[in-house]
Chains A and B, each alone.
Chain A
Amino acid sequence: MIELSNVSMQFPVPRRYIDYMMWPLKTRKYYPVLKQVNMSINEGDRVGFLGVNGAGKTTLLKLIGGLLYPSEGAIYVNGFHTCMQNLKARRDVGFVLNEERSFFWRLTGIQNLEFFGVLDNLQNDALHYRIKELIKLVGLTESGDRLVAGYSSGMKQRLAIARGLLADPRILILDEPTRALDPKAVEEIKTLISGKIHDQTKRTLLIATHRFDEVEELCNKVCIVKNGSVIDYRSIVELRSEYRTIQEYYHHIIKKEEQDEF
């Protein structure tokens, strides 16, 4: 269970050296990234976060994952406060970063998993068994012993999913899991997420994406983020009564929001 209550996030406006020199005592300016977000996510939910670049999707997921602390408000993951009880809150969260470079390229896929597995407190035999299991799950059995430097983008993404699952977390956060992948790799990753990761374990999945088909196939709830605000959050079953597709729903909500703003 994830609870967000009045969560706001602001980032400081970067200052240049000249600013520090000329006005050393001037207070720092901040710009808002998320504004007063309230939402709760139930166990087993698969939530797709939709929104344009810079809307605040990744920030929201990083806040839930305890990688960032909110400027205001509180986030509880399975009852643990993400700032006050950061390690405990993160215990049940796996993060699949979209950063290809988040691996050590001069290590093999298995060596990378071994490194991150030890950091996740997995012990000897359990770790090796888990790595074997995950490598098979993500379809890297043949290439686990190859250096990550020689992996394709799709393979690195599979490895990132395996890393996110190392500690067998109940919540898996995926930040644009199919970004920069070719259509075949996109299909493979989607099958992996829906078939093997969710259906077999009923994990909670939080997926930031730009792809409507991904939300359609992988999620049971949709959250639309615009200019740092959650403007709509509902189940796909619910929105089906009004809209034919996720795309139609998304454009309608965005348009409505713009009209309201105007």
Chain B
Amino acid sequence: MNFRKIFIFIKKDFIIESSYKLSFVQSMLTSIFPIISFFFIGKLLEGTSSVALDNYGGKYFPFALIGIAFVRYFQLAVDTFSGSIKRAQMAGCLEAILSSQTDPRSMVVMSSFYSFISAGFQLIVMFVVAFLFLGFEFSNTNVPATLVTLLVSLIMFISLGILSAAGTVIFKQGEPIGWMFGVVSALLSGAMFPVSVMPDWLKDIAAVFPLTYSLDALRLALLKDQSILMISRQLVIISTIAFALFPVSLWVFKWAIEKGKQDGTLMQY
């Protein structure tokens, strides 16, 4: 993997994406509208006290904003790799790309860079809108803890994303990892409500999902000024999963491509 190759993927995706002008505007609006809805839900809940929210500053809107914004971003990390494989399969470009002199693992990683830049931009826009117009504050934010949490979480979700891409190569449609993350994990990991309000048996299930720890750590760092040391329990869990999963995911993806080459099913979708 080198910078020229990363740049050419970004350039290609930018040219294609910017040629669909309405799509760009729509994706911006799609990221902003939900936070406005949750701003008003927060207004509705103002004055009511919740012990569950006290750990995160006591207000619902900042809690929900972090949940929505980061689940969306991490969801992208999980979906982007399989999405780029599916798009290349459907567009008929996959075989042409795989017949080039670049390793398929580098290829799948590089094909996702533009999505991360674009979604990162949307993430920033969401927080800027919330800061400028909806009363979100960064006064209790611990920047190093936030950045470290974001980084290790991204490595973890990118690993899941590469596994998901391997699933797409093997299963074509209906691969289980993206679904697991998108539907089950986003529901149970406390994106919209604190995990502590759930019954104990659901809390146990939530504890299995890495997203629970990422959101918890991000909220504590962004809303309660907690340092890296204070959120070390969550960081250790996320880092362990991230650094164990990353090499495994690359190995599984390589295996999936080779299996596709053996079975002749690489181009099927």
Interface residues of A (CB under 8 A from B): 9, 11-12, 33, 59, 65-69, 71, 87, 90-91, 93, 95, 97, 99-104, 106-107, 111, 114-116, 118-121, 123, 163, 167
B46 interfacial contact with A, CB 8 Å: no
B44 interfacial contact with A, CB 8 Å: no
| Number of residue pairs spanning A and B whose beta carbons lie under 8 angstroms apart | 84
B139 interfacial contact with A, CB 8 Å: no
Distance of B171 from chain A, by nearest CB (Å):
10
Q: Which residues of B contact A87 (CB under 8 A)?
A: 101, 103
CB within 8 Å for A69 and B262 given contacts A102-B95, A104-B12, A120-B100 = yes
Distance of A117 from chain B, by nearest CB (Å):
9
Q: A121's closest neighbor in chain B, by CB?
A: B101
Q: Which residues of A contact B265 (CB under 8 A)?
A: 11-12
Q: B102's closest neighbor in chain A, by CB?
A: A119
B199 interfacial contact with A, CB 8 Å: no
**What 3 pairs between A and B have smallest CB-CB spacing?**
A101-B92, A119-B100, A102-B96
Report yes or no: A68 in contact with B261, Cβ–Cβ below 8 A: yes
Partner of A68, one of B93, B97, B100, B264: B264
CB within 8 Å for A107 and B12 given contacts A9-B264, A97-B96, A102-B92 = yes
Distance of A24 from chain B, by nearest CB (Å):
14
Q: Which residues of B contact A107 (CB under 8 A)?
A: 12, 15-16
B48 interfacial contact with A, CB 8 Å: no
Partner of B262, one of A71, A93, A102: A71
Partner of A106, one of B15, B92, B96, B266: B15
Q: Which residues of A contact B91 (CB under 8 A)?
A: 101, 104
Q: In whole angstroms, how far apart are the Cα atoms of A93 and B98 in the complex?
A: 12
Can you sample 24 A-B contacts with CB below 8 Å? A12-B263, A12-B265, A67-B99, A67-B266, A69-B262, A71-B262, A87-B103, A90-B99, A93-B99, A99-B95, A102-B93, A104-B91, A106-B19, A107-B15, A111-B15, A115-B12, A118-B4, A118-B8, A119-B5, A119-B102, A119-B107, A120-B100, A163-B96, A167-B101
Q: In whole angstroms, how far apart are the Cα atoms of A66 and B266 in the complex?
A: 13
Interface bin, chain B: 20 to 34
Q: In whole angstroms, how far apart are the Cα atoms of A151 and B262 in the complex?
A: 34
B258 interfacial contact with A, CB 8 Å: yes
The digit string for B186-209, where 1 denotes a CB below 8 A from any CB of A, is 000000000000000000000000
Q: A149's closest neighbor in chain B, by CB?
A: B19
Partner of A69, one of B95, B100, B103, B261: B261
Q: Which residues of B contact A111 (CB under 8 A)?
A: 12, 15
Q: Which residues of B contact A65 (CB under 8 A)?
A: 99
Partner of A119, one of B97, B262, B264, B266: B97
Q: Which residues of A contact B8 (CB under 8 A)?
A: 114-115, 118-119
Q: Which residues of A contact B95 (CB under 8 A)?
A: 67, 97, 99, 102
The digit string for B246-267, where 1 denotes a CB below 8 A from any CB of A, is 0000000000001001111110
Q: In whole angstroms, how far apart are the Cα atoms of A107 and B93 in the complex?
A: 13
Q: In whole angstroms, how far apart are the Cα atoms of A83 and B68 in the complex?
A: 45
Chain B residues 217-238 with CB under 8 Å of chain A are none
Q: B100's closest neighbor in chain A, by CB?
A: A119
Partner of A120, one of B19, B101, B261: B101
Report yes or no: B98 in contact with A67, Cβ–Cβ below 8 A: yes
Distance of B239 from chain A, by nearest CB (Å):
32
Distance of B13 from chain A, by nearest CB (Å):
9
Q: Which residues of A contact B5 (CB under 8 A)?
A: 118-119
Q: Which residues of A contact B102 (CB under 8 A)?
A: 119-121
The digit string for B6-20, where 1 denotes a CB below 8 A from any CB of A, is 001001100110010
Report yes or no: A104 in contact with B16, Cβ–Cβ below 8 A: yes
Q: In whole angstroms, how far apart are the Cα atoms of A97 and B94 in the complex?
A: 11
CB within 8 Å for A101 and B101 given contacts A11-B264, A114-B8 = no
Q: Which residues of B contact A119 (CB under 8 A)?
A: 5, 8, 97, 100-102, 107
Distance of A261 from chain B, by nearest CB (Å):
25
Distance of A116 from chain B, by nearest CB (Å):
6
Q: Which residues of A contact B98 (CB under 8 A)?
A: 67
Chain B residues 77-104 with CB under 8 Å of chain A are 91-93, 95-103
Q: In whole angstroms, how far apart are the Cα atoms of A111 and B91 in the complex?
A: 17
Q: A114's closest neighbor in chain B, by CB?
A: B8
Q: Which residues of A contact B107 (CB under 8 A)?
A: 119
Report yes or no: A99 in contact with B92, Cβ–Cβ below 8 A: yes
Q: In whole angstroms, how far apart are the Cα atoms of A124 and B89 in the complex?
A: 28
Report yes or no: B101 in contact with A91, Cβ–Cβ below 8 A: yes
Q: B110's closest neighbor in chain A, by CB?
A: A119
CB within 8 Å for A67 and B16 given contacts A97-B96, A102-B93, A118-B8 = no
Q: In whole angstroms, how far apart are the Cα atoms of A11 and B258 in the complex?
A: 14
Q: In whole angstroms, how far apart are the Cα atoms of A87 and B100 in the complex?
A: 9
